[in-house]
Amino acid sequence: MKKFYVFGLLLLLLLAHCAQQKPYTEIQQPVSQNEQQIQYLAEVIKMNSDAIDQQEKQVSSDLQMLNSKLNQIIVLQSKVSNLEVKVNTLDSKIEAQNQILAQLKSSPAVANNTQTKPTTESDGITPEKLYQTGRQYYVDNDFRKSISTFSEFIKEYSQHDLAANAQYWIGECYYSLDQFETAIFNFDKVVINYPESNKIVDAKLKIALCLIGMEQYTGALTQLREIQKQYPDYERLDIVRERIVMLENR
């Protein structure tokens, strides 16, 4: 009887132990599955992270290449703009020469095969008076007469101290008439023919403004930056800076 009692007690203890182990086993299995899923997700995240790093490197490399190409394009645009300025200047020279030829052909002196007597100081007109006459025509907005008067001045007094100024005002007249190509041609004459003149920088500024008027913004910006660099004490540097900012913010 006592043996049966002990055996029954042991059986109860065994059953109780099994009952306690069953919930633990049921919990352990999902936990193990979750750990496997977490490990798998970690591996996937690592693979994606590596792929993202690789893509970032590729994007960075592509951006550097694009920036390099963009800089090359900007340089080429500047060169093209400068070439356009030269071509336009040549066109202006041809146009100016054609205008002169047309005027000569229509001149009564040519038609009658006679010579027109040039205006000289012996006629009572001094270079200074002739120059002031051209300036007054400009002030009165009679630009054609101003061009004619200053052209006569340069023809008769090419070595005079006011010759560079007369050439400059011819450019100003064409600028006021919105004939920007011809204006550039005449302003360029100031730079080339009168390198010691105090109108050099003014002429270069006007060339830049003509280019803006012709919508050749890259060439204008290059010209303005050169003025800013070469002439830091220029009295109209505020206008130069203003135009640079305007073009850079287009």
Average pLDDT over residues 83-102: 52
Return the amino acid letter for 197.
S
Cβ atoms of 219 and 81 closer than 8 Å: yes
At 51, the pLDDT band (50, 70, 90 cuts) reads: confident
Q: What is the pLDDT of residues 187-216, one digit of tens each?
A: 999 999 999 999 999 999 999 999 999 999
pTM over 0.95: no
Between CA 242 and CA 168 the distance in angstroms is 23
Cβ atoms of 138 and 169 closer than 8 Å: yes
Between CA 86 and CA 195 the distance in angstroms is 19
Return the amino acid letter for 50.
D
Question: 200-210 as b/e, with b when 16 or more CB fall inside 10 Å?
Answer: bbbbbbbbbbb
CA atoms within 13 A on the CB side of 193: 18
Instruction: Supply the pLDDT for residue 81.
Output: 46
Cβ atoms of 211 and 217 closer than 8 Å: yes
> Residue 217 pLDDT more than 90?
yes
109-248 fold:
1.25.40
Supply the DSSP symbol for 116.
P
Domain ranges of the chain: 109-248
